[in-house]
Structure 1
Amino acid sequence: MQRRSFLKQATLGSVAAGAATVAAPAFAQDAPTLNWRLASSFPRSADAIYSGGEDLAKYVSEATGGKFNIRAFPAGEIVPALQVLDAVQNATVECGHSASYYYYGKDPTFSFDAAVPFGLNTRQMNAWVMHGGGMELLREFFAEYNVVNFPCGYTGTQMGGWFRNEIKSVDDLKGLKFRVSAFAGAVLSRLGVVPQQIAGGDIYPALEKGTIDAAEWIGPYDDEKLGFNKVAKFYYTPGWWEGTLQVSLYVNQKAYDGLPKHYQAVLANAAAHATNMMIGTYDVENPQALRRLVANGAQLRSFPRDVMDACFKESNAVYAELAGSNAKFKKIYDHYMAFRDTQIPWFRVAENNFDQYMSGAVGRR
């Protein structure tokens, strides 16, 4: 009915004016032309995660007929990788694409917008944020930083990283200089690890020169592109500190409030589109990349059970300390973990049973 009415009105208008063309839709006529900049925390070479910002920008431009344009810049071109939050907060740029646990030093509460040790996987994180009350809590927290946050990509469960030497027991962690996210570093430091937080583009030279002994980044596809297998051969799983990584779009609050409502809707849909594109990319690319890495000499290992148990125990100790001293952290922590603990039994019944059977069945085929 709406399409017929539009065509009828457009035809009558053209006849009345003696013209042969149909007027452009009101959206195109009334919409303002905007040009924004997006600062990314990721290098262009890490294309699967960096492209989240570019996918978002492409969607926004196409959905608005080129009226709302966002130009994505890789880490370091406008601001350093770990200063994207500050740049958006202070309106140096209108928006950014980052991983919120990079700002653990400002407040560990940021990590709930990205990943926390022994936390949610991709499906569970998406459920918590979009339907389980997580978004409301995160938006309340980010508002204090003049930022509106949107999920804008998932990596899936990450790998445990590249090590020069095998990890056979908890004792092997002592003195290990390990590039790892800050929250995981807070846990591992209790077991003797010396954690290092280094931006993605700087990891390879640090590992090559021996400045660090081990490094984790994301997973096989990105790790292969960055060449970690050339300087460390033992590849560990799982990255228990990242059951998934949710990457986020940050939008300056004032810039967001100044958008027409339909532009705000386009931005939200663009972030959702970029999220689906990213997890799809990783789920296609990681299996193939892992096969290549192993074929080229990578030694795939699982962390020993005693290491996993020790890390789980220390994670809970860190959570207790943070919740006891940080009311904002405790508010989201209580909600997040209650949600996690309702999800795990269900996934064990259905998802895990199916996955375990299929793993064995395919292996036996």
Structure 2
Amino acid sequence: MDRRSFMKKAGAAGLGGAAASVLAAPAIAQTNPKITWRLTSSFPKGLDTIYGGADTFSKYLSEATDGNFQIQPFAAGELVPGLQAADAVSAGTVEACHTVAYYYWGKDPTWALPSAVPFALNARGMNAWHYHGGGIDLANAFFGQHNIVAFPGGNTGVQMGGWFRKEIKTVADLSGLKFRIGGFAGAIVSKLGVIPQQIAGGEIYQALEKGTIDAAEWVGPYDDEKLGFQKVAPYYYYPGFWEGGPTVHLMFNKAKFEELPANYKSLVRTAAQATDANMLQKYDYVNPMAIKKLVAAGAQLRPFSPEILNACFDAAQETYAELVSSNENFKTIWESIIAFRKEHFLWQQVAEFTNDTFMMQLQRAGKLG
């Protein structure tokens, strides 16, 4: 082959390759369109772990799309009040929110079930139910009635029972107690004489300090220490039986979500699941140090008595029976949860509980370093 013939063929091949590149570029661009959404959070920026879930989610999406899919988070109150985040998404005021579904239980108690209700599942159980027990689909069948699509976007692990200005030893001590308690749990403890208060996280400290409320639960040691509750209510109770494994949700306006290309929908689900795992992992890492700091600062750790736990469980069972008989949406999701709950805690008693119990005994004996 002479030099001239070779150059002609090489040039033609080069032009063909260039043409292919030109043709391929628009196809790639079409799969990654530029989209900018706003996300309103139910949490203040100072709570870097729970509010930080929105930042983490946005970061993952931006990185996966070379910056083409941008979601800008806003803290509670910057666009809408924290307890109205889902309403804004439903109405299309914003495209997305990061919130806890039980905040909206007053519209319908079914809202609380995909997040947390008293004596349901722990964090691992909730994740197992959501991702492999049909929980996400059941939740979205309900959320879809409100023009919302949602995916788990965080979990705190079992929460603490809250901060009390006085000791709570018996069921009688609950009577007349003004207690900031999130969501559906308030309906349960009200059967025992508690006066539940729904107050956004950023307003709790002032209410405790002024004596407007007698007690408040928030999340757990890391977040509670940041908010300084130990300064105004020294008794720190556990466990938060109403939030054994509360799921924080990323919610999206259904119409806007359906407009996304298929690869963006997939990335939303993937980034949400990564955010879900990341939040729980961070809480598991930071809470051990935070509880030590709180006790050093004067927090008085107290367990709820068996009397109180059993009374609350009975009140919860009564409430669930009432709702199952009157609310078909609630019945469908709750029956799915309790069917798995029985199996989950059976398995947890075998290897997990035995291993953890032994390791805790070693820790108390000072043998873990």
Q: Report the TM-score when normalising by structure 1.
A: 0.94
Structure 2 CA distance, aligned partners of 1:204 and 1:302?
Answer: 22
| Closer, same or farther: CA 207–17 of 1 in aligned 2, 3 Å | same
Match of 2:337 in 1: 336
Corresponding position of 1:139: 140
Query: In structure 2, the residue corresponding to 1:37 is in which secondary structure?
Result: strand
Please state if 1:314 is matched with 2:318.
no
Q: Does 1:156 align with 2:132?
A: no
1:15 maps to a residue whose letter is G
- Alpha-carbon distance change, 16 to 73 in structure 1, aligned in 2, over 3 angstroms: same
Aligned residues of 1:174 and 1:192 also touching (Cα < 8 A): yes
What amino acid sits opposite 2:316 in the alignment?
S
Separation in structure 2 between the aligned mates of residue 138 and residue 12 of structure 1, nearest angstrom: 58
Q: CA deviation at 1:327?
A: 1.1
Matched residue of 2:113: which SS? helix
Q: Cα gap change, 1:26/1:350 in structure 2, threshold over 3 Å: closer, same or farther?
A: farther
Could you tell me whether the CA contact under 8 Å between 2:112 and 2:183 is conserved in 1?
Answer: no
| CA distance in structure 1 between the aligned counterparts of 2:340 and 2:202, rounded to whole angstroms | 35
Q: CA deviation at 1:17?
A: 7.3
Whether the 8 Å contact between 1:41 and 1:75 is mirrored in structure 2 is: yes
Alignment RMSD (CA, Å): 1.8
Tell me which residue corresponds to 1:231.
Answer: 232
Contact 1:182 1:195 in 2 (8 A): no
Name the structure 2 match of 1:16: 15
Q: Which residue of 2 aligns with 1:121?
A: 122
Name the structure 2 match of 1:281.
282
**What are the within-5 Å matches in structure 2 for residues 149-228 of structure 1?**
149-228=150-229
Which structure 2 segments of 5+ residues have no match?
A: 1-9
Check whether the contact 1:28–1:65 (CA below 8 A) recurs between aligned residues.
no
How far apart in 1 are the matches of 2:17 and 2:336? 64
Distance 1:297 1:268 in 2: 42
Deviation at 1:28, TM superposition (A): 4.6
Displacement after TM superposition at 1:182 (Å): 2.7
2-structure distance, mates of 1:12, 1:100: 62
Amino acid at match of 1:16: L
| Cα distance, 1:18 vs structure 2 | 9.6
Whole-angstrom CA distance in 2 between matches of 1:27 and 1:292: 55
**Partner Cα distance (1:14, 1:191) in 2:** 82
Cα gap change, 1:231 to 1:29, in 2 (>3 Å): same
Partner in structure 1 of residue 243 of structure 2: 242
SS class of match (2:350): helix
1 CA distance for matches of 2:318 and 2:181?
Answer: 19
Aligned position for 1:69: 70
- Number of residues paired by the alignment? 354
Structure 1 window deviating more from structure 2 (209-218 vs 179-188): it is 179-188
1:29 to 1:212, Cα distance in 2 relative to 1, 3 A: same
Match in the other structure for 1:36: 37
| Matched-pair contact (CA < 8 Å) for 1:28–1:64 | no
Where does residue 84 of structure 2 map in the other structure? 83
Instruction: For 1:127 and 1:230, locate their aligned partners in 2 and report how far apart those are by CA, in whole Å.
Output: 38
Relative to the length of structure 2, the TM-score reads 0.93
- Measured in 1, the distance between the counterparts of 2:346 and 2:280 equals 24
Cα distance in 1 between the residues matched to 2:63 and 2:28: 12
Larger C-alpha radius of gyration, 1 or 2?
2
Q: Deviations over 1:188-230 (max 9, x none)?
A: 1111111101011111100110000000000000000011011
Corresponding residue SS for 1:218: coil
2:118 and 2:136 mapped to 1: Cα distance?
A: 19
Tell me, in whole angstroms, the C-alpha distance in 2 between the residues paired with 1:211 and 1:146. Answer: 36
> In 2, distance between residues paired with 1:181 and 1:143?
23
Shift of 1:36: 0.2
5 Å matches for 1:248-327? 248-327=249-328
- In 2, Cα distance between equivalents of 1:128 and 1:168: 34
After TM superposition, give the deviation of residue 183 of structure 1 in Å.
1.4
Unpaired runs of at least 5, structure 1: 1-10
* Preserved contact between residue 115 and residue 246 of structure 1 (Cα < 8 Å): yes
Deviations 1:259-296 (A, max 9, x none): 01111111111101111211111011111000000011
Q: 1:276 to 1:15 in 2, by over 3 A?
A: same
Contact 1:208 1:231 in 2 (8 A): yes
The verdict on how the C-alpha distance between 1:85 and 1:16 changes in structure 2, with shifts beyond 3 A counting, is: same
User: Quick one: which amino acid aligns to residue 228 of structure 1?
Assistant: F
Contact 2:129 2:135 in 1 (8 A): yes
